Chain A
C-alpha cells in the first residue's frame, strides 16, 4: 500500500492539476412555488413535482411575465439569444473569478474548451467568449455540444489531455448552461419534470501540468473512466416538438444509473490499485434526488459524502454540465481536504453515460 501511495504521489506531481475554479449564476433566483406559479401549473400532481424536488431555489433567466402574470413560451430566436447572452454573462463572471484565484490573466490562457447543451450557436461559444474576454488570437478552441449533464466531465477529459500533452500550457474549461433557454411549456407532466429540475449556471476551471503548483492549489487529475449504457440511449434526449427542442427524462433514469454506477468506479479503482475505502471525497453531479439516492445505495456512499451534491441541488437545481464543479467548489472551500487525499468525481448524462475522474490532492 505504501508503494502505491508513493507511485500515486509521483503520478500526481506529473499529472495535470485543476488550479482554480469560478462559478456564476444569473442574478435572480426563484423558489419552486414561484416557478410553478409563473408556469401557470395548477394541477396538484404537477405542483408536487416542483415542491417535492428537494430544490429550494434556482437561478434562472426568466422573461417578464405577461399581463396574466404567467410566462409565455419564448420564441426560438429569443431563447437562442438568451442562451448566448446568459452564457457570456455567467461565463465572464466564472472565468474572472477562476483566473483571479489562479493569479492568471486572460492572456495566460492557451486553450479554451466550452461546454453547453442548452443552445446551439455558430460560431460556437468559444469564439464569442474569446471576443468577450479578450483571449489571445492564437488560442486553441474546442466546443462540446449536446453531451448534457456529463459534458463537464467530458470537457475535463479533453482539457486534461491537452494539458498533459502541452506541459506548462494553461487550458480553461468553461461549462455554461442556460437551462431556462431550453424550457418547453405545454402543461404536461413530462415537461413539468424538466421545468421543475434545471437551473442556470456556469463554472470555469483552469488545468495545467507544471512544476509550480502544489496540492493546496488544487488536485491532480490522475485518471478517467467512462461507462456508456447504449441500451438506454433514449432515456435522456431532446425531442423535436412543434419545431422546438423539448428535453425528455425517462422515469427509470435514476435506476439505470444506480445499477451501473459501480462499473466505471470499479475499473478506475482497480487500474489505480485502490479500493473504495481509499476515496476521501466524493464530487457527484446533482442530477436529482432520486439519482443521488440510487447512487448512494449502489456504491454505499454516505449522506456526508453527498452533502455538497445535495446542497447544490437544493440551492441551484440541476445545472447540467457545471453542477459537479459547484460541488467541487464547495468541497475545496470547506477546508477538509488534506495533502494526499483521494477524490472521485462523477457526472452522469445522456447516452446514458457515467463519467468518472480520480483526483489526488
Chain B
C-alpha cells in the first residue's frame, strides 16, 4: 500500500517509516495508524525505525489540517496522544532517527520511541506555546529526562538547542556524525535480546518513575514472573546475551 504523507517498508525484522511531510496533519496521523496496525500484526518485526526527510525529522503539528471540524478541540489532541501511546507500546524496539529539525510534536514522537539517535547538526525546539497551544503529554517524559527547571525553560522560551545539548540533557541517546552507522550498531546491540524482555523492561522502567515503592514492588514481581516464563527456566540464556551485548555499548 502506498501512502501520501509517509513511506513504509519492511526489510527482514526491520520496519521503517519515513515521514514524508514536514508537519503532522490528520492524513499523516491516519496513515501512521494504518502502518502501526501492520507492525502490530506482524510478529516478525523486531525493530521499528522512524525517520524524517531532507533535513527535517518533523516540525510538529499542522494546526490548519489537524481537525475534522472547523475548530480544533481536545478530541483532536487526544487522537494524537493515542497515536504516540501506540508507538510507546509497539512490540518491537523503537528508534527515532533524527537528522535535522525536530520541533514540538516531532520531539514527542521521538520521545515515544525507546531510543533516539540524532545527527550532530540536528536542532530541537518546543514550538507549541508560540503557536498558541500547549505541549502534549510528553512533558512528563521530558521532565523525567531533564528535570522540572529545565523543562520549564525549554517549553516557555521555545529556544532552539543542539543535538549535543539534547544529549547532555538526556533527551537523546546518541549524538553522532553518522546516524546510519549508529543505527546499525544499536540494531546489532538489541538484535539478540528477547522482545518480550525488552517490552517488560520498558514498562517497568516507566512505572518506576510513576509509583511508590510499595506499588512498584508488585509490578516488579509480575514482570519478573513474565520473564521467568519467557526464559522457560533457562537463566543462562539471558546471561549469555548480556555478555554478547557488552562490547556494543562501549562502541557507542
Contact = CB atoms under 8 A, between A and B. Distances in A.
A107 B199 CA distance: 54
B210 A303 contact: yes
A258 B225 CA distance: 9
A255 B225 contact: yes
Interface residues of A, number: 18
A294 interface: yes
A339 to B, nearest CB: 15
Nearest to B36: A277
Nearest to A1: B37
Q: Is the interface of B mostly helix, strand, loop or mixed?
A: helix
Interface in A256-300: 258-259, 275, 277, 289-290, 292-294, 296-298, 300
B218 A293 contact: yes
A294 B220 CA distance: 10
A296 B222 contact: yes
A343 interface: no
A52 interface: yes
A297 B214 contact: no
B210 A290 contact: no
Contacts, number: 44
A289 B89 contact: no
B218 A289 contact: yes
Given A255-B225, A296-B222, A52 B40 contact: no
18 contacts: A52-B214, A258-B226, A277-B37, A290-B218, A290-B221, A290-B222, A292-B218, A293-B219, A294-B222, A296-B219, A296-B222, A297-B200, A297-B219, A297-B222, A297-B225, A297-B226, A300-B199, A303-B210
The CB with the most chain A CB atoms within 10 A, among B40, B200, B210, B218, is that of B218
Contacts of B229: 259
Nearest to A298: B226
B8 to A, nearest CB: 18
B223 interface: yes
Contacts of B225: 255, 258-259, 294, 297
Nearest to B214: A52
Nearest to B227: A297
A35 B218 CA distance: 23
Given A258-B225, A258-B226, A289-B218, 13 more contacts: A255-B222, A258-B222, A259-B225, A275-B40, A275-B41, A277-B37, A290-B222, A293-B218, A293-B219, A293-B222, A297-B203, A297-B222, A300-B203
Interface string A288-321: 0110111011101001000000000000000000
B248 to A, nearest CB: 27
Category for how many chain B residues contact A: 20 to 34
B73 interface: no
A273 B197 CA distance: 28
Contacts of B86: 277
Contacts of B200: 297
Contacts of B242: none
B244 interface: no
A275 B43 CA distance: 14
B168 interface: no
B30 to A, nearest CB: 13
B201 to A, nearest CB: 11
Most A C-beta atoms less than 10 A away, residue of B40, B86, B89, B225: B225
The 3 closest A-B pairs by CB, nearest first: A293-B222, A293-B218, A297-B222
Nearest to A310: B215
Contact of B40 (A258, A277, A294, A296): A277
Contacts of A289: 215, 218
Contacts of B223: 297
Nearest to A300: B89
Contacts of B207: 303
Contacts of A350: none
A158 B190 CA distance: 49
A227 B199 CA distance: 26
A254 interface: yes
A277 B41 CA distance: 11
Contacts of A292: 218
A346 to B, nearest CB: 16
Contacts of A293: 218-219, 221-222
Contacts of A297: 200, 203, 219, 222-223, 225-226
Nearest to A54: B215
Nearest to A297: B222
Contacts of A303: 207, 210
A258 B218 CA distance: 12
B209 to A, nearest CB: 12
A294 B218 CA distance: 8
